[in-house]
């Protein structure tokens, strides 16, 4: 039996469908201990992130983690989202996409990618 989750493949498919259709992909994330996002933007244990080309840089969508750089309030932040924390992915303009059931994907065995330390230059 294959224990490989379909979630990373479905997330990438909906992302590509959005991009191909000129839509803005949004990622709904349930925060857990391996999720690195700016905490000031987390509401009720969740955050919604735009994955549009104008919103993120260096987007990597692997089988265990989604990583990218984004600006929040003009401040750059390195985002790390484990795939088991992805609650859904949808098009901002239409709301069409996929919602995932909690717990249908085991937590990644891999460690989250190392976040570079941001230096504030005065």
Query: Where do the domains of the chain lie?
Result: 7-99
Q: Which CATH number fits domain 7-99: 2.30.30.220, 3.30.930.10, 3.40.605.10, 3.90.930.60?
A: 2.30.30.220
Residue 122: band (very low, low, confident or very high) from pLDDT cuts 50, 70, 90: very low
Instruction: Report whether pLDDT(10) > 60.
Output: yes
Task: Provide the mean pLDDT of the chain.
Answer: 89
The whole-angstrom separation of Cα 21 and Cα 18 is: 5
pLDDT tens for each residue of 70-104: 999 999 999 999 999 999 999 999 999 999 987 66
pTM, to two decimals: 0.84
> How many C-beta neighbours within 10 Å does residue 119 have?
5
């Amino acid at each position: 039996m294959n224990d490989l989750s379909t979630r990373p493949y479905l997330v990438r498919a909906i992302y590509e469908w959005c991009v191909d259709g000129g839509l803005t992909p949004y990622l709904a994330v349930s925060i857990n201990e391996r999720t690195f996002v700016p905490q000031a933007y987390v509401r009720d244990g969740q955050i919604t992130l735009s994955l549009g080309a104008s919103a993120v840089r260096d987007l990597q969508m692997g089988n265990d983690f989604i990583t990218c750089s984004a600006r929040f309030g003009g401040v750059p932040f390195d985002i790390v989202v484990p795939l088991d924390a992805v609650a859904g992915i949808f098009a901002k303009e239409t709301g069409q996409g996929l919602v995932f059931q909690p717990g249908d994907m085991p937590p990644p065995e891999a460690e989250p990618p190392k976040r570079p330390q941001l230096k504030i230059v005065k």
